[in-house]
Amino acid sequence: MEKKDIKNILISMRTAENEAMVNNLLGKIDMMDSNTLQETIRKIGNDEASIRGFLKSKLSNIHEQQTDEKYPINSMFTYGISGNCIHLHLPVDLHQMISKYGVSATIANVNLQLIDAIDKIKRLKDDGFYRFSGKDSIYMISPILIGREMKFLNEIGFRTRIHSKKDLKDPKYVEKTPEAKLANHIFGSDKNVGTAIIDFDTMSKEEWKQIINEKTAELEHKAAPINISEKTLN
């Protein structure tokens, strides 16, 4: 297919609601050189169905990016809304904390803040907070959700999955895996990306609350250097 063929397919997808997004993509296609375009087509599949599916996912990603507002939930985490999920984000740069207190205390502090964020979201949900109406789970996605972080999330009831760099470079895998599409959209395909999800039904169980109490006590001990420093400053 040539550039004009791709543009014609995209134009055929234009509606009153997505006109600005389609025009944005048309502009990007116009700016692509021939070699880059043909390499992209080779990866996607050189037929109309494959091209149409790829363009549809691109429009969906642009829409998500435009509507994904983030709100603070505590000193470290923010949240956004997507579909039936509440997305938790960690926008804080941890390098300074790690250099001052070490990896163990820093990660323990992050996990304490995570538990606090989950607890606040759960209480807001139970109290009928309008933004959380119809939402059934909390979701996380990040290149740092690997190793000990993934292990911790598993221990507190999250269902986790790792998407390797190899997976994220495979167009067929990405096309059939919504989480991989989101990972590519946010982080590109050069990092291993972890995803984790927990539903509110799990968080309502007494066994889960007991696990959280035990983990909180364990993490407070590990994060003691940070907590003591904060108390001294205050």
Shared domain for 51 and 154, answered yes or no, is no
Do 198 and 92 share a structural domain?
yes
The predicted structure's pLDDT at residue 30: 81
At 80 the pLDDT is: 87
Domain of 62 in residue numbering reads as 1-67
Domain boundary among 11, 40, 67: 67
Same domain for 185 and 103?
A: yes
Clarify whether residues 62 and 142 are in a common domain.
no
Rounded CA gap, 112 and 223, in Å? 8
Domain limit, last residue, from 19, 49, 67? 67
* Final residue belonging to a domain, choices 11, 46, 67: 67
Answer yes or no: do 125 and 214 share one domain: yes
pLDDT tens per residue across span 112-162? 999 999 999 999 999 999 889 889 999 998 887 677 788 999 999 999 999
Q: Are residues 153 and 205 in the same domain?
A: yes
Do residue 139 and residue 215 come from a single domain? yes
Same-domain status, 82 and 96: yes
Q: Looking at 31-169, which runs of residues are DSSP E strands?
A: 71-72, 78-82, 85-89, 137-142, 159-163
**pLDDT value of residue 65:** 57
Strand partners, 161: 195
Q: How many domains does the chain have?
A: 2
Residue 24, pLDDT above cutoff 90? no
**Cα 230 from Cα 220, distance rounded (Å):** 13
Question: Is residue 89 located within the same domain as residue 141?
Answer: yes
**pLDDT for residue 207 is more than 80:** yes
CA 227 to CA 217: how far, in whole Å? 13
